[in-house]
Amino acid sequence: MIEKLTLYFQYPFVKYALIVGVLIALCSSLLGVTLVLKRFSFIGDGLSHVAFGAMAVAAVLNLTDEMMLVLPVTVLSAILLLRTGQNTRIKGDSAIAMISVGAMAIGYLLMNLFSTSPNLSGDVCSTLFGSTSILTLTEREVILCAVLSALVVLIFVLFYNKIFAVTFDEAFAKATGTPADRYNLLIAVIVAVIIVLAMNLVGSLLISALVIFPALSAMRLFGSFKGVTICSAVISVICAASGIIISILAGTPVGSTIVAVDILAFGLCVLVGKLTGATRE
Amino acid sequence: MALLTVKNLSYGYDSQAILTDLNFSVNAGDYLCIVGENGSGKTTLMKTLLGLREPMSGEIIPGDGLKKNEIGYLPQQTIVQKDFPASVREIVLSGFQGQTGLRPFYNRQEKAQAQENMQRMGIEALADTCYRELSGGQQQRVLLARALCATRKVLLLDEPVSGLDPKVTTEMYELIRSLNHEGITIIMISHDIASAVRYASHILHIGSEVFFGTKQEYIDSKVYNKWIVAEDQSLTTDH
Ligand SMILES: Nc1ncnc2c1ncn2[C@@H]1O[C@H](COP(=O)(O)OP(=O)(O)O)[C@@H](O)[C@H]1O
Ligand SMILES: [Mg+2]
């Protein structure tokens, strides 16, 4: 088995997949706690559908660089969703459902009507579940992913205390002079970037799992925001790395393997949490 | 000039006014209690004073150079906070957020002051404990320590003793009184009229009838006496 691995790691695409996978897993776990606790997880879900739609349009237009379309569209939708979420007239949830399901339907429709690909359902499937895309990354995509991931981590660290304040108690933050709306916007934009990144790794349907599972796992073990943040980053990185390696060895789809490992880790954390009584129900 | 002057204020939800034409003012060092029945609009008034909601009409005028980031606030608790992974220290420190501007981390002075505020509230031993594992009284102390980090001037408290047992309630009231004696202006919502009358210097009563004045004026007022009688009656019919 070790031999098989060393053989595989001689191929650059396997190395790329591992590097990018670990970086993306790191970013996507950072905002997990915020998304879960701010009840923003539905925004993440909605955005992944939008990203799917954008990806479909990019495929139909035969763009060589899909990210150039998908990234701005998703970021824009994030801002829009946040705005409508704050608007009391249209309820946030239904706005998200409208935009996300709409984007998905149109995306699939466009792909069906205009796609020149001989294997349409295969294309759709890989956009949804990210089946093999991670192993076919070009060097340029790897660099772009690496730069974006590094940027996300840097911004997260610099705004860590502000993100905490706005997540823990938005009303208090606002009342005492923190420009909470600006930071909410920042969070939404980072989430959008993370979703576009994560789409490469696990496909659009499994993004929420990648974002939320490590956070939920870490919350079983730690009682401080810092502890949970660091722990969920570690869990996410380990799960992604082992998921990628398992999928290479066993020939399973990358995205679902990583998520399966994440679920396993969650089960383990629930168990450990119960045994040590680290957190009370 | 008063610390806070409220002029002809109308407030409510979606063009549905809860209260119209409210007038009162708070001077530095005052202890104002806002009383009234459940649902009479006390929390909404406080949110309007804090700028969390737009007033429908009228004005809220800050005085004495009071700035937005010099206000401390203790909200009525929400459910989201209850399962939040956060240590006591993290929460108390976050009280400084309004003053940090774009600076990413808390400085040494802020950390020391957070420590001092935890000491005053008697929670320094709990600094690294998770908030959700604390008792109700301890949680309120944490939120009060956070509010103290945000201000040296004025504290707005929304039912700080709800859900606390009688002993802890008295401790909480004494803590708030000692803060007031140190010169911090208190604006507190309470449904406990007896304690309001005991501790406050001024009372704002809202509901179908509105009253604003000093404690003594309130005790002599019709509003107060009507309410006391009504409370007595509901108590006797309960038993
Ligand atoms: N978000 C909201 N939207 C619409 N109406 C609300 C909202 N929150 C409270 N209300 C209504 O406003 C009134 C005053 O509520 P509130 O200020 O919480 O009262 P109090 O704090 O005095 O118990 C109540 O009748 C309540 O039903
Ligand atoms: Mg209330």
Q: Which one of A158, A172, A280 has the shortest CB-CB distance to B104?
A: A158
Would the CB atoms of A172 and B73 count as touching at under 8 Å?
yes
* DSSP 8-state symbol, B77: P
For the stretch A119-173, pLDDT in tens is 666 766 666 666 555 666 778 888 888 899 999 999 999 999 999 999 999 899 9
d(CA B147, CA B50): 13
A41 φψ region: left (φ > 0), alpha (ψ -120 to 50), beta (else): alpha
Please give the radius of gyration of chain A, using alpha carbons only, rounded to the nearest integer: 19
CB B39 near ligand 1, within 6 Å: yes
Is A63 within 8 Å of chain B by CB? Answer: no
Would the CB atoms of A175 and B146 count as touching at under 8 Å?
no
Is A9 within 8 Å of chain B by CB? Answer: no
DSSP alpha helix (H) spans, chain A: 2-8, 12-30, 32-37, 41-60, 67-86, 92-114, 120-129, 139-158, 160-168, 170-175, 180-202, 207-221, 225-250, 254-276
CB A67, CB A144: distance < 8 Å: yes
**pLDDT of B221 above 80:** yes
For the stretch B65-120, pLDDT in tens is 899 899 999 998 765 566 789 999 999 999 999 999 999 999 999 999 999 999 99
pLDDT at A280: 46
How many angstroms separate the CA of residue B54 from the nearest CA in chain A? 13
Per-residue CA distances from B231 to A188, B154, B158 (Å): 49, 31, 22
A281 pLDDT tier (thresholds 50, 70, 90): very low
B136-150 helix and B166-181 helix, angle to the nearest 10 degrees: 10
What is the distance in A from the centroid of ligand 2 to the CA of A121? 55
How many angstroms separate the CA of residue A245 from the nearest CA in chain B? 32
d(CA B219, CA B115): 40
Pairs of residues, one from chain A and one from chain B, whose beta carbons lie less than 8 Å apart: 111
Q: Where are the domains of chain A?
A: 2-275
For the stretch A222-265, pLDDT in tens is 999 999 999 999 999 999 999 989 988 888 888 889 999 999 99
> For residue B154, what is the enclosing H or E element?
strand B154-158
How many angstroms separate the CA of residue B151 from the nearest CA in chain A? 9
A65 pLDDT tier (thresholds 50, 70, 90): confident
Residues A200, A201, A203, A205, CA torsion sign: negative
For the stretch A21-50, pLDDT in tens is 899 999 999 988 888 877 666 677 788 888
pLDDT at A128: 66
Domains of chain B, earliest start first: 1-66+153-239 (3.40.50.300), 77-152 (no CATH)
Is A169 within 8 Å of chain B by CB? Answer: yes
Q: Searching chain B, which residue's CA lies closest to the CA of residue A280? A: B133
Q: Give the type of residue at B140.
A: Q
Contacts of A267 (CB under 8 A, 6+ apart): none
Residues of chain A contacting B51 with CB distance shorter than 8 Å: 174-175
Give A153: exposed, middle or buried? Use CB within 10 Å, 0-12, 13-18, 19+: middle
Look up the CATH superfamily of A2-275. Answer: ABC transporter involved in vitamin B12 uptake, BtuC (1.10.3470.10)
Is A154 within 8 Å of chain B by CB? Answer: no
Nearest atom within ligand 1 for CA of residue B45:
17
CB B31, CB B184: distance < 8 Å: no
pLDDT at B48: 96
For B15, the token pair is 């063009």
A207-221 helix and A225-250 helix, angle to the nearest 10 degrees: 130
ipTM for the complex shown: 0.91
CB B130, CB A277: distance < 8 Å: no
Interior angle at CA B58, CA B56 and CA B64, nearest 5: 125
Q: Residue A85: what are its φ and ψ, rounded to 5°?
A: -65, -35
Q: Searching chain A, which residue's CA lies closest to the CA of residue B89? A: A224
CB B52 near ligand 1, within 6 Å: no
